[in-house]
Amino acid sequence: MYLMAVRWLEDIRADDIGSVGGKGASLGEMTDAGLPVPPGFVVTADTYRSFIEDTGIDQELFAAVDVETEDSAALAEAASRAEELILGTEMPEHIREEIMTAYADLEGEEPFVAVRSSGTAEDLPEASFAGQQETYLNIQGEELLDRVQRAWASLFTQRAIYYREQQGFAHDAVDIAVVVQQMVDADKSGVLFTSHPSTGAPQTIIEAAWGLGEAVVSGSVSPDNYHVDRESREIESVTVAEKKIEMVRDEETGETVTRSIEGDRRDTQVLTEAEIHELVEMGERVEDHYETPQDVEWAIMNGTVYMLQSRPITTIDDTSSDDAEVEGAGGEDILSGLGASPGITSGAVRIIRKLDELDKVSEGDIIVTPMTTPDMVPAMKRASGIITEEGGMTSHAAIVSRELGVPAVVGTGGATEILRDGQIITIDGERGAVREGRDTPKESEREPIEEARPKAPVKPMTATEVKVNISIPEAAERAAATGADGVGLLRMEHMIMGTNKTPKRYIDDHGAKAYRDEIVDGIRTVAEEFYPRPVRVRTLDAPTDEFRQLEGGNDEPSEHNPMLGYRGIRRSLNEPEIFEHELAAIKHLYELGYDNVEIMFPLVNDAEDVRRARDRLESVGIDTTKREWGVMIETPASVMTIEEMAAEGIDFASFGTNDLTQYTLAVDRNNERVSDRFDELHPGVLKLIGRTIEICREHDVDTSICGQAGSKPEMVEFLVEEGISSISANIDAVRDVQHEVKRTEQRLLLDSVR
Ligand code: PEP
Ligand code: MG
């Protein structure tokens, strides 16, 4: 059979996904639309297929990965056998030839290329699909063949095998294509938003810095910022930042390196007026093509503008948009909002304003609420429909409803006022309409609803990272949908308390492996959702009075003041046999490929605590020089010993202001009698924080906050001024914090140039 091993981007269309994968198809579509995509080709999915079939390794390969995935040794063995088979088998001559011929047709002699895997199973979440993350930059010559083979092998990492097994996808039904694209050796690059990312106003916002775009996207440089009115074409504002570094390709090694920018270029405006206008126009063409505002990564090389990537902006708050208006098909609409989850359903209204009203919801009822929360998920599963007053398409209600396949209308404004408890209504989750009365087929006759996935979140344009706090893994999806840069605090204790047993009781009843699996599952839900964004997992920190309420709680010590008692790292270090399982769970996640997991220790007081905790990590086999780990700053003692802790090799320090405030002011955080004295902005607390940030900056230790105060605008402003590396906020505060960070950063920039 004649096989066309490669296809050029210009010959690819959007519906070629089966042959060239999602990434390949979208690059092809953009090339076809005349957008300046760097030239390239795709090694098709059929080529991968023909490689494993023609060389006869297919049967052995699929047999090798057919293992019990909960058995980590077997899983590791499977992945390594698959890799061996794919990398150890020579690529047939005709495939090699075709790839190298296409490569030779690229511009220049032995040009540098980027090699990326492109999954064909689009119903698998991007981050989870094997190999989607595999990207090799600056590849040259015959090395390309090796990278293509590696991209194929990435279909069988431990994580990919595990995920497919969990989701019930057959290993032999998933293919992989590989995109090979000319590298753009950018002189300048950045991102642009074709509309204002939160208001949707017709304004192009461009961020630009010297060198490769990674510096802007990763937030390691403060970029210039340009605002252009799309109607008048006027450049409304230009903010020139001090650009301290740039990322460039090292001439000798071909690798991407960061170097410091010296002299005038630091403060020189990156974009010329002509380039600004060219970028605005390109943005408009992308937006026209996709018919929705876009977040575009661009680069300029030798005066030519390239478009590297584009995706829809998902943070525009469109709850008031006219699109939601519908005409009644039958009865009159009594309410309208956004159709967040498709399907038509009828039922009785249950108005929920407080969590303890959830019992009211019976099978088939329609929940009407200001906004859903993760605690409402069990009731949402019983409901036949959901209406919220607030929220947009990526709100908790919208995402969870879509996942559960329950029709939902969100952002209706006054639903809890307009509707009455017990009233029978019909909702249309496609068009966002609510009518009086029942006029739908019974639930059993409803058409199955296609699963929708939340869209990729847009990156907030701030140098300070904005992350999110999570306590219950069920909230992961909602948290990820905020566009947060990662998880700044994932509390482990809730995963345990969810079982209603103390750790010791759980292990006695079910064994250590089950305990460890409980932790692995909880963390994995979040790590998967956020991958490759970092997820900072905190080891157990529950006071004994909380454990006492659980099964096995009678064996817990009874303490006069649990807040000052047996909790956090002091307990973990005293009970290594329990602590060890938490660390082993994290180690197992690393083995599964979740290299985005970070480890954080609560309530440390000094370098001695840090040393002992680090020894525990090493003793379970976690290499602390390779993994990100750090501590919470929750006691004045930890502030006063931060230099010594930094010397122990911590990568980060995160302010737990709930405790730091309590221990600095001697105010019990749980005692409402003194709640008026619980002030996280107290000068004493702020001084401790400021000192820590300053010293950490000197020692190259990242700083963050994960206490409640990180969601308060005044605190955010203070922290950004002090130079904190990241802020972790509550899910619902992420957006406001992103804006507050942006505002503060811009003001600092302006102050520095005025
Ligand atoms: C804190 O103390 O601020 C913190 C985030 O930890 P917790 O609230 O779990 O004690
Ligand atoms: Mg704390």
Q: Check pLDDT > 90 for residue 170.
A: no
Atom 5 in ligand 1: residue holding the nearest Cα: 707
Give 45 or 330, the one with higher predicted confidence.
Answer: 45
Atom 1 in ligand 1: residue holding the nearest Cα: 656
Q: Are 615 and 629 in contact (CB under 8 A)?
A: no
Which residue, among 706, 748, 749, has the nearest Cα to 728 in the 3D structure? Answer: 706
Give 163 or 287, the one with higher predicted confidence.
Answer: 287
Confidence at residue 320, expressed as pLDDT on a 0 to 100 scale = 32
Q: Which atom of ligand 1 is nearest to the CA of 602?
A: 6
Give 751 or 557, the one with higher predicted confidence.
Answer: 557
Interatomic CA distance for residues 748 and 719, integer angstroms: 12
Q: What are phi and psi of 685, to 5 degrees?
A: -70, -45
Q: For this structure, is 396 an active site residue?
A: yes
Which residue, among 598, 585, 617, has the nearest Cα to 519 in the 3D structure? Answer: 585
Q: Are 447 and 403 in contact (CB under 8 A)?
A: no
User: What is the three-class DSSP state of 420?
Assistant: coil
Tell me the average pLDDT of the chain. Answer: 86
Non-local CB neighbours of 520 within 8 Å, separated by 6+ positions: 585, 588, 589
Residue 447 pLDDT class (50, 70, 90 cuts): very low
4-28 pLDDT tens trace: 899 999 999 888 888 998 889 889 9
Confidence at residue 621, expressed as pLDDT on a 0 to 100 scale = 96
Q: Are 661 and 607 in contact (CB under 8 A)?
A: no
Atom 6 in ligand 1: residue holding the nearest Cα: 656
User: How far is ligand 2, taken at its centre, from the CA of residue 92, in Å?
Assistant: 58
Ligand 1 binding pocket (C-beta < 6 A) is: 489, 491, 541, 634, 656-659, 706-707
Task: Indicate the burial class of 258 (C-beta count within 10 angstroms; 0-12, 13-18, 19 or more).
Answer: middle
Show me where the domains of the chain are located: 6-182, 188-312, 333-449, 462-753
Residue 568 pLDDT class (50, 70, 90 cuts): very high
User: Please, what is the Cα angle at 480 between 476 and 482, to 5 degrees?
Assistant: 125
User: How far is ligand 2, taken at its centre, from the CA of residue 634, in Å?
Assistant: 6
Q: Which atom of ligand 1 is nearest to the CA of 659?
A: 2
- The winner for highest mean pLDDT among 13-22, 168-177, 207-216, 608-617 is 608-617
User: How far is ligand 2, taken at its centre, from the CA of residue 290, in Å?
Assistant: 46
Interatomic CA distance for residues 267 and 612, integer angstroms: 46
Amino acid at 392: G
37-91 pLDDT tens trace: 999 999 999 999 999 999 999 999 999 999 887 777 788 889 999 999 999 999 9
Which one of 3.30.420.10, 3.40.1110.10, 3.30.1490.20, 2.40.110.20 gives the CATH number of domain 6-182?
Answer: 3.30.1490.20
Q: Check pLDDT > 80 for residue 326.
A: no
Three-state helix/strand/coil letters over 184-235: CCCCEEEEEECCCCCCCCCEEEEEEEEECCHHHHCCCCCCEEEEEECCCCCE
Catalytic site residue from 171, 581, 696, 706: 706
Interatomic CA distance for residues 463 and 725, integer angstroms: 8
Beta strands in 429-541 (DSSP E): 433-436, 465-470, 487-491, 535-538
DSSP assignment letter at 92: P
Q: What are phi and psi of 681, to 5 degrees?
A: -95, 10
- The winner for highest mean pLDDT among 122-131, 474-483, 626-635, 740-749 is 626-635
As a whole number, mean pLDDT of residues 679-699 equals: 97
Q: For this structure, is 706 an active site residue?
A: yes
Burial 79-98 (b: 16+ CB within 10 A, else e): bebbbebbeeeebbeebbeb
User: How far is ligand 1, taken at its centre, from the CA of residue 356, in Å?
Assistant: 25
77-129 pLDDT tens trace: 899 999 999 999 999 999 999 999 999 999 889 999 999 988 876 544 443 34
Confidence at residue 403, expressed as pLDDT on a 0 to 100 scale = 56
Percent of the chain with pLDDT over 70: 89
CATH code assigned to 188-312 = 3.30.470.20
Q: What are phi and psi of 420, to 5 degrees?
A: -115, 150
Confidence at residue 495, expressed as pLDDT on a 0 to 100 scale = 83
User: How far is ligand 1, taken at its centre, from the CA of residue 491, in Å?
Assistant: 9
Q: Which atom of ligand 1 is nearest to the CA of 541?
A: 9
**Residue of 540, 634, 667, 689 best suited for mutating to test ligand 1, as the one with most atoms within 8 Å of CB:** 634
Interatomic CA distance for residues 316 and 364, integer angstroms: 32
Q: Check pLDDT > 50 for residue 394.
A: no
Ligand nearest to C-alpha 489: 1
Which residue, among 539, 608, 546, has the nearest Cα to 575 in the 3D structure? Answer: 539
Pairing of the two strands 224-229 and 235-239: antiparallel
Q: Check pLDDT > 60 for residue 637.
A: yes
Q: Are 540 and 493 in contact (CB under 8 A)?
A: yes
- Helix (H) / strand (E) element for 640: namely helix 636-640
Report in angstroms the alpha-carbon separations of 425 from 97, 347, 439, 748: 65, 6, 9, 52
User: How far is ligand 2, taken at its centre, from the CA of residue 602, in Å?
Assistant: 7
Cα 68 from chain centroid (whole Å): 29
Pairing of the two strands 702-705 and 433-436: unpaired
Atom 8 in ligand 1: residue holding the nearest Cα: 658
Q: Check pLDDT > 60 for residue 198.
A: no
CATH code assigned to 333-449 = 3.50.30.10
As a whole number, mean pLDDT of residues 139-163 equals: 90
Ligand nearest to C-alpha 710: 1
Q: What are phi and psi of 519, to 5 degrees?
A: -70, -45
Find the DSSP H helices in 296-357: none
Confidence at residue 330, expressed as pLDDT on a 0 to 100 scale = 53
The domain made up of 462-753 has a fold known as TIM Barrel (3.20.20)
Interatomic CA distance for residues 390 and 393, integer angstroms: 10
Q: Check pLDDT > 90 for residue 148.
A: yes
Q: Which atom of ligand 1 is nearest to the CA of 662?
A: 2
Interatomic CA distance for residues 523 and 490, integer angstroms: 8
- The winner for highest mean pLDDT among 119-123, 141-145, 421-425 is 141-145
User: How far is ligand 1, taken at its centre, from the CA of residue 212, in Å?
Assistant: 38
Catalytic site residue from 396, 581, 588, 696: 396
As a whole number, mean pLDDT of residues 345-374 equals: 86
Three-state helix/strand/coil letters over 518-555: HHHHHHHHHHHHHCCCCEEEECCCCCHHHHCCCECHHH
Which residue, among 113, 134, 114, has the nearest Cα to 176 in the 3D structure? Answer: 134
User: Please, what is the Cα angle at 164 between 583 and 499, to 5 degrees?
Assistant: 45
Percent of the chain with pLDDT over 90: 54
Which residue, among 577, 583, 567, has the nearest Cα to 624 in the 3D structure? Answer: 583
| Out of 144-153, 371-380, 572-581, least confident range | 371-380
Report in angstroms the alpha-carbon separations of 3 from 40, 89, 95, 479, 706: 19, 19, 9, 45, 55
Pairing of the two strands 652-655 and 702-705: parallel
Residues facing 702 on adjacent strands = 652
Q: Which residue has the tokens 């957008």?
A: 35
Q: Which atom of ligand 1 is nearest to the CA of 493?
A: 9
Q: Check pLDDT > 60 for residue 316.
A: no
Confidence at residue 669, expressed as pLDDT on a 0 to 100 scale = 82
Ligand nearest to C-alpha 707: 1
The total number of residues shown for the chain amounts to 754
Q: Check pLDDT > 50 for residue 193.
A: yes
Atom 4 in ligand 1: residue holding the nearest Cα: 656
Q: Which atom of ligand 1 is nearest to the CA of 660?
A: 2
**Residue of 654, 706, 727 best suited for mutating to test ligand 1, as the one with most atoms within 8 Å of CB:** 706
